[in-house]
């Protein structure tokens, strides 16, 4: 959601560095942005805020400075306006603040501050925080005022505050992520480590309730409750700068789709050690619960089929936002397997917190090393997909599924079988990406782009495939798409099929083939335009996309087809696939 970037160092173009940093966070989704900087000579704060995308915006009108921070805002409290954009200033213009999260009790505090004479200009909860700090700063030193204000704030929040009289950021968090980057004669701060890669790989992820005072050459961390100094250790990011760039591709999404065969091969070669450990933890536990949101939730659902089919193991599954309502049966022997690309999705973090209260063991499969979920887990597995910047998750999904396949096979001590089908899935995915299939998918996108609705059916492992296909299509093309278990058609959705309705049918070479074909026929009989994604053609298909068989891992090349279709639908409809409207990459609020 909202992005944060800060720089304090020797360079005189701090605002430019910050603007570049914010651009690297654009993928998180935002509707307005702002930068504030301090000029050292006169200790003046200059602020520039705008509604809309950063695009070609420049920041040349701000004076030279070596100390600045900025924010991309995804509106929650108050409309999308310049006044509501961050950074916010206090009444004196000497304190400025950026905020991620939701300040839940801001209304009562706002009333109190207005009574005391504060002029609050925006509709946001965030601006209230800077006035609260100003008020507390009348009696306390600045850092202490920030700490006290933060402790008065209810909810999950990250604050970064500057006092123009002091050469340091004061940053504090609970919930919303903050990562400090350590450079040479400079330090950085970002809500997401991707933005730091161009400057440094040496980072520290602020823990829950930690407060940092960040100067040019010194960083001190405190516990925001006890004020005690925290001895911290930095860590090295294992991503390269190039991995986080578009390279020759027009969009991050397309680049990330094309990276998949190599990622799957890498997981096939090196993923089995952590898969075997995970399998052992699952075997030692009593009851396994999968939890994820959005695309990760469909990977979880696929996991429940994989564990059942391959390992004859029953696992439960809930989406993150529902997990809290179904955890009464968790015990200290339960294993919660949490899946998340970012490792920062609030519903997942909340689920894990609740599971920890029940003393369950937390196993996570996460893409961002050092993320909150990573740090909260008892046993952590890295997806290894590299930075994913497109809002639409692609390679993280196939990466998650690949690991789940390895875990399922490890549960029956057959990890080599898992490895073999992953190698096949990587080969079949590559086949789709480099040959005529891409042209066929582009052609299909042209044919169906004007449709208002489309339906996707599958059974067994192709059911989560259908749900994920529909999500990808609606999220970036804005066409209404519904994923269904094929058997459900007759229970209602069939009423919606009419002449020309596009119906995507997944028909892999498994036990679901016959029954799923029957579903396709039901739709065909109502005039549906049948798009068959299968290992062999069939006369009822109006459009056929071949996908080679890779056993249970066929879900991977099948999804590659869906991702490409969603991408080319977005291109045909002139939507930006990397920045879908109303969506953010990491959903860090509830
Ligand atoms: O970072 P996470 O994997 O926890 O994110 C979960 C969902 O927010 C995410 O998968 C979302 O559904 C994507 N936009 C789907 O493409």
| Top-confidence range, 41-55, 59-73, 463-477 | 463-477
Burial letters 256-274, b for 16+ CB under 10 A, else e: bbbbbbebbbbbbeebbeb
Task: Dump pLDDT digits (tens) for 330-343.
Answer: 999 999 999 999 99
Question: pLDDT digits over 129-172, tens only?
Answer: 999 999 999 999 999 999 999 999 998 889 999 999 999 999 99
Q: What is the mean pLDDT of residues 444-461?
A: 97
Q: pLDDT tier at 58 (50, 70, 90 boundaries)?
A: confident
572 vs 494, more confident = 572
Token pair listed for 307: 């564990």
581's tokens: 């409207």
User: For residue 492, what are the contacts with CB-CB under 8 A and spacing of at least 6?
Assistant: none
pLDDT of residue 55: 83
Tell which one of 177, 318, 587 to mutate to probe ligand 1, the residue whose CB is within 8 A of the most ligand atoms. Answer: 587
Contact 84, 32 (CB under 8 A): yes
Residue 511 alpha carbon to ligand 1 centre in Å = 30
Q: What is the pLDDT of residue 238?
A: 82
Minimal-distance CA residue to ligand 1 atom 9? 294
Looking at residue 589, its pLDDT comes to 66
Both tokens of 459, joined, read: 């059974």
Question: pLDDT digit string (tens) for 491-545?
Answer: 999 899 999 999 999 999 999 999 999 999 999 999 999 999 999 999 999 999 9
Of 344, 481, 487, residue with least CA distance to 25 = 344
Tokens of 297: 């939730």
CA of 85 to the centre of ligand 1 (A): 25
Give me Rg for the CA atoms of the chain. Answer: 25
Q: Does the pLDDT value for residue 442 go beyond 90?
A: yes
* Mean pLDDT across the chain: 94
Active site amino acids: 2, 585
CB 375: neighbour CB atoms within 10 A? Answer: 15
Residue 561 has pLDDT above 90, yes or no: yes
pLDDT over 90 at 246, yes or no: no
C-alpha of residue 342 to centroid of ligand 1, in Å: 8
Six-digit token string for 272: 């089995």
Average pLDDT over residues 47-53: 93
Question: Which of 191, 345, 464, 467 for a ligand 1 pocket mutation test, highest count of atoms within 8 Å of Cβ?
Answer: 345
Give all domains of the chain, ordered by start, each with its CATH number: 3-237 (3.60.20.10), 248-431 (3.40.50.10490), 434-577 (3.40.50.10490)
Residue 1: pLDDT above 70? Answer: no
Residue with CA at minimum distance from ligand 1 atom 8: 294
- Residue pLDDT, tens place only, 183-214: 999 999 999 888 999 999 999 999 989 999 99
* Predicted structure pTM score: 0.82
Query: What pLDDT sits at residue 101?
Result: 86
Report phi then psi at 586, rounded to 5: -110, 125
Q: Stretch 66-89: mean pLDDT, rounded?
A: 92
Q: Helix-strand-coil percent breakdown of the chain, rounded to 5?
A: 40, 25, 40
DSSP letter at 165 equals: T
Please give the Cα distance from 406 to 165 (Å, whole number): 56
E-strand stretches of 206-266: 210-214, 219-223, 235-236
Nearest Cα residue to 510 out of 547, 542, 561, 471:
547
Residues in the chain: 590
Q: Which residue in this structure is represented by tokens 């192709």?
A: 462
Q: Provide the 10 A C-beta neighbour count for residue 391.
A: 22
Report d(CA 301, CA 465) in Å as an integer. Answer: 10
Tokens of 458: 């599958």
The set of protein residues with a Cβ atom below 6 angstroms from ligand 1 is 293-296, 340-342, 345, 348, 391-393, 471, 475, 583, 586-587
């Amino acid at each position: 959601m909202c992005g944060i970037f800060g720089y304090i160092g020797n360079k005189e173009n701090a605002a430019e560095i910050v603007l570049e940093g914010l651009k690297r966070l654009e993928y998180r989704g935002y509707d307005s942005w702002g930068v504030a900087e301090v000029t050292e000579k006169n200790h003046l704060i200059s602020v520039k805020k705008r509604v809309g995308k950063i695009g070609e915006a420049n920041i040349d009108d701000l004076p030279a400075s070596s100390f600045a921070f900025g924010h991309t805002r995804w509106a929650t409290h108050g409309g999308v306006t310049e006044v509501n954009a961050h950074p916010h200033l206090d009444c004196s213009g000497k304190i400025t603040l950026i905020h991620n999260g939701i300040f839940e009790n801001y209304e009562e505090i706002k009333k109190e501050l207005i009574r005391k004479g504060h002029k609050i200009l925006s509709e946001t909860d965030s601006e209230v925080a800077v006035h609260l700090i100003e008020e507390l700063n009348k009696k306390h030193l600045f850092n202490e005022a920030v700490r006290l204000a933060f402790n008065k704030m209810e909810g999950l929040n990250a604050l970064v505050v500057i006092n123009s009289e002091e050469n340091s950021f004061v940053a504090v968090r609970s919930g919303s992520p903050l990562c400090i980057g350590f450079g040479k004669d400079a330090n950085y701060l970002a809500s997401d480590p991707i933005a730091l890669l161009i400057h440094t790989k040496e980072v520290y992820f602020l823990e829950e309730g930690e407060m940092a005072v960040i100067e040019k050459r010194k960083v001190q961390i405190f516990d925001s409750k006890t004020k005690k100094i925290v001895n911290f250790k930095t860590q090295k990011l294992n991503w390269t700068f190039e991995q986080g760039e578009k390279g020759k591709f027009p969009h991050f999404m397309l680049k990330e789709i094309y990276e998949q065969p190599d990622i799957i091969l890498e997981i096939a070669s090196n993923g089995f050690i952590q898969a075997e450990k995970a399998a052992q933890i699952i075997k030692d536990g009593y009851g396994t619960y999968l939890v994820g949101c959005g695309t990760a939730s469909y990977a979880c659902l696929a996991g429940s089929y994989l564990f059942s089919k391959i390992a004859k193991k029953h696992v439960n599954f809930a989406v993150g936002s529902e997990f809290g309502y179904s955890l009464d049966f968790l015990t200290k022997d339960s294993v919660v397997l949490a899946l998340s690309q970012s490792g920062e999705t609030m519903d997942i973090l909340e689920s894990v917190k609740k599971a920890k209260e029940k003393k369950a063991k937390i196993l996570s499969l996460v893409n961002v090393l050092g993320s909150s979920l990573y740090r909260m887990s008892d046993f952590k597995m890295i997806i290894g997909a590299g930075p994913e910047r497109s809002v639409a998750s692609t390679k993280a999904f196939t990466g998650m599924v690949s690991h789940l396949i390895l875990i399922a096979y490890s549960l029956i001590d057959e990890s080599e079988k898992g490895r073999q089908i992953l190698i096949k899935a990587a080969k079949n995915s590559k086949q789709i990406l480099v040959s005529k299939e891409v042209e066929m998918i582009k052609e299909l996108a042209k044919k169906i782009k004007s449709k208002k609705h489309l339906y996707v059916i599958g059974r067994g492992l192709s059911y989560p495939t259908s749900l994920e296909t529909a999500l990808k299509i609606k999220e970036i093309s804005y066409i209404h798409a519904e994923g269904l278990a094929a058997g459900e058609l007759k229970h209602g959705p069939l009423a919606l099929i009419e002449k020309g309705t596009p119906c995507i049918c997944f028909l892999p070479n498994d036990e679901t083939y016959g029954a799923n074909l029957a579903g396709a026929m039901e739709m065909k009989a109502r005039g549906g335009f049948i798009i068959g994604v299968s290992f062999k053609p069939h006369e009822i298909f109006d459009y056929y996309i071949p996908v080679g068989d890779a056993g249970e891992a066929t879900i991977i090349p099948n999804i590659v087809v869906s991702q490409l279709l969603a991408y080319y639908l977005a291109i045909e409809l002139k939507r930006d696939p990397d920045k879908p409207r109303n969506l953010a990459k990491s959903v860090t609020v509830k």
